[in-house]
């Protein structure tokens, strides 16, 4: 059993994020068509500014052909590779670079013009704000370096490219992240619903029978007591399986399922523990969940140390509107009144720090009651996710 109740999972790019990327490239295809038409129209209008009009026409036609090829290649995931993105950007830079040769050294507008937006936006979609920034810098340098004079219009175009690329990239990354978080939330909700349905079915049948065998066996003694003990172990194991079926999807966005974590921790503890939790997930802040589970484990460790491995304990988790309460009870002989405060005064801070210190550090409360029936800790922590 993993000691960490919240194992960190590798998160590959989800299908939802790739679906968002597909839609963005589909939108980019429309942009490519528009800027290509604009490029052809402007160069036809400015044909008298070219020193080599025939070569300029060949470059324009080559860019039109590349537009069609790029739309087709970007439309398929298998061909949407880093090599394609690099080639796309190099073609855009080259189209800017040949402008002084096709026109004159005192040129104003570059031959591709806004056509280079295709490569810029492709890098922003695939590599997010970093890709948008790199592509923007490359295109800006290719535009500015050959110029003898940089006027206000040139500066304005470069400025828009430099801020537009990273901003578009950041927005694309945000859309993909939201798609992944939506999928995680839907998965967690579906898993919780299925767990609730399964828990009802199991509780109405198998768990009730196992609990009855446990009680009757303990009361009968002898071999029946051993059978009751085995039934109790099977009941706890079955409850743990029900809870663990969605342990991973319950952990999302800094929130964890406290109920599932308590089940996992109790199953691994040497003391016989029965856990009762609400039917659905109990989502709390990750730090709150970690500290609460550690405090509950400290309670069980005290049971093991002062009562023994044959002791039994019960954990009850209840979720209110703005807090979660976890009760830990054992069947030991109890302890003298004020014993916890007395131990703290003597400098033995085990209970004070491992239980009360953790819970009070979360803004909650930890109270203890004890008698001949045993000892019960009640831990109340705030910050439950609704």
pLDDT tens readout for residues 61-108: 999 999 999 999 999 999 999 999 999 999 999 999 999 999 876 677
Residue 205: how many other CB atoms lie within 10 Å: 10
Q: Across the chain, what does the average pLDDT equal? A: 82
> What CATH number has the domain bearing residue 345?
3.30.565.10
Q: Clarify whether residues 169 and 259 are in a common domain.
A: no
Separation in Å, CA 21 to CA 25, 30, 92, 283: 6, 15, 22, 31
Digit-coded pLDDT (tens) for 139-198: 999 999 888 788 888 888 899 999 999 999 999 999 998 988 888 778 777 776 776 666
Indicate yes or no: pTM above 0.95. no
Q: Give me 286's structure tokens.
A: 């990750």
Among candidate residues 60, 67, 43, 160, the one with its CA nearest the CA of residue 122: 67
Separation in Å, CA 187 to CA 86, 250, 317: 37, 8, 23
344 belongs to a structural domain: yes
pLDDT the model gives residue 195: 67
Write the Ramachandran bin of 23: left for phi over 0, alpha for psi from -120 to 50, otherwise beta: alpha
Q: Clarify whether residues 67 and 158 are in a common domain.
A: yes
Strands 283-285 and 365-371: unpaired
Coil/strand/helix, residue 151 = coil
136 belongs to a structural domain: yes
How far apart are alpha carbons 352 and 349 in whole angstroms?
5
Domain termination residue (choose one: 165, 180, 195) = 180
Q: What is the mean pLDDT of each run of 10 residues along the chain (386 residues)?
A: 39 69 95 96 91 94 97 95 97 94 80 95 96 96 88 88 95 91 78 67 64 75 78 68 50 71 85 84 84 90 85 90 89 73 53 78 89 89 63
Query: Are the C-beta atoms of residues 226 and 214 closer than 8 Å to each other?
Result: no
Query: Are the C-beta atoms of residues 204 and 273 closer than 8 Å to each other?
Result: no
313 belongs to a structural domain: yes
pLDDT the model gives residue 236: 66
Q: What is the DSSP letter of 225?
A: H
Output phi, psi for 381, to 5 deg.
Answer: -125, 145
Q: Clarify whether residues 174 and 264 are in a common domain.
A: no
82 belongs to a structural domain: yes
Among candidate residues 70, 160, 78, the one with its CA nearest the CA of residue 122: 70
Q: Clarify whether residues 275 and 164 are in a common domain.
A: no
pLDDT the model gives residue 237: 64
Alpha carbons within 13 A on the beta-carbon side of 273: 26
229 belongs to a structural domain: no
Query: Are the C-beta atoms of residues 93 and 139 closer than 8 Å to each other?
Result: yes
Digit-coded pLDDT (tens) for 161-172: 999 999 999 999
Helical spans, DSSP H, in the chain: 15-45, 53-74, 82-97, 99-102, 117-144, 152-202, 208-220, 223-244, 258-268, 286-306, 339-345, 350-351, 358-361
Q: Clarify whether residues 383 and 259 are in a common domain.
A: yes
Report the domain count for the chain. Answer: 2
Domain termination residue (choose one: 180, 206, 225) = 180
Query: Are the C-beta atoms of residues 375 and 355 closer than 8 Å to each other?
Result: no
Residue with tokens 């802040």, as numbered in its chain = 285
Q: Clarify whether residues 254 and 376 are in a common domain.
A: yes
Q: Clarify whether residues 166 and 19 are in a common domain.
A: yes
Residue with tokens 């129209």, as numbered in its chain = 41
pLDDT the model gives residue 372: 84
Q: Clarify whether residues 145 and 286 are in a common domain.
A: no
Write the Ramachandran bin of 363: left for phi over 0, alpha for psi from -120 to 50, otherwise beta: left
352 belongs to a structural domain: yes
Domain termination residue (choose one: 180, 210, 241) = 180
pLDDT the model gives residue 374: 86
pLDDT the model gives residue 340: 60
189 belongs to a structural domain: no
Q: Which domain holds residue 158?
A: 15-180
């Amino acid at each position: 059993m993993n000691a960490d109740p919240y194992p960190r999972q590798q998160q590959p790019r989800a299908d939802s994020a790739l679906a968002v990327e597909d839609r963005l490239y589909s939108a980019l295809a429309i942009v490519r068509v528009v800027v290509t038409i604009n490029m052809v129209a402007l160069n036809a209008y400015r044909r008298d500014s070219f020193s080599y009009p025939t070569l300029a026409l060949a470059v324009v036609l080559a860019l039109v052909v590349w537009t069609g090829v790029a739309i087709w290649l970007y439309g398929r995931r298998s061909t949407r590779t880093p090599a394609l993105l690099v080639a796309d950007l190099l073609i855009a830079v080259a189209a800017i670079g040949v402008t002084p040769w096709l026109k004159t050294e005192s040129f104003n507008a570059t031959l591709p013009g806004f056509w280079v937006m295709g490569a810029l936006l492709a890098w922003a979609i695939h590599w997010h704000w970093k890709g948008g920034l790199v592509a923007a810098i490359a295109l800006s340098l290719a535009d500015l370096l050959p110029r003898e004079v940089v006027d206000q219009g040139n500066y304005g175009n470069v400025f828009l490219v430099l801020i537009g690329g990273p901003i578009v990239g950041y927005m694309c990354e945000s859309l993909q992240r939201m798609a992944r978080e939506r999928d995680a939330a839907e998965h967690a909700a579906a898993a919780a619903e299925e767990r609730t349905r399964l828990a009802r079915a199991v509780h109405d049948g198998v768990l009730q029978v196992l609990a009855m065998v446990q009680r009757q066996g303990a009361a009968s003694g002898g071999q029946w007591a051993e059978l009751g003990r085995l039934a109790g172990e099977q009941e706890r194991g079955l409850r743990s399986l029900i809870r663990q079926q969605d342990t991973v999807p319950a952990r999302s966005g800094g929130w964890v399922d406290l109920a599932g974590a308590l089940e996992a921790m109790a199953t691994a503890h040497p003391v016989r523990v029965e856990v009762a939790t609400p039917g659905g997930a109990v989502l709390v802040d990750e730090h709150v969940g970690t500290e609460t589970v550690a405090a509950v484990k400290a309670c069980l460790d005290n049971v093991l140390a002062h009562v023994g491995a044959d002791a039994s304990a019960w954990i009850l988790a209840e979720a209110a509107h703005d807090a979660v309460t976890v009760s830990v009870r054992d069947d030991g002989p109890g302890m003298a009144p004020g014993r916890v405060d007395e131990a703290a005064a003597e400098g033995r801070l085990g209970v004070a720090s491992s239980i009360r210190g953790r819970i009070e550090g979360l803004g909650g409360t930890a109270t203890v009651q004890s008698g001949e029936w045993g000892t019960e800790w009640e831990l109340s922590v705030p910050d439950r996710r609704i």
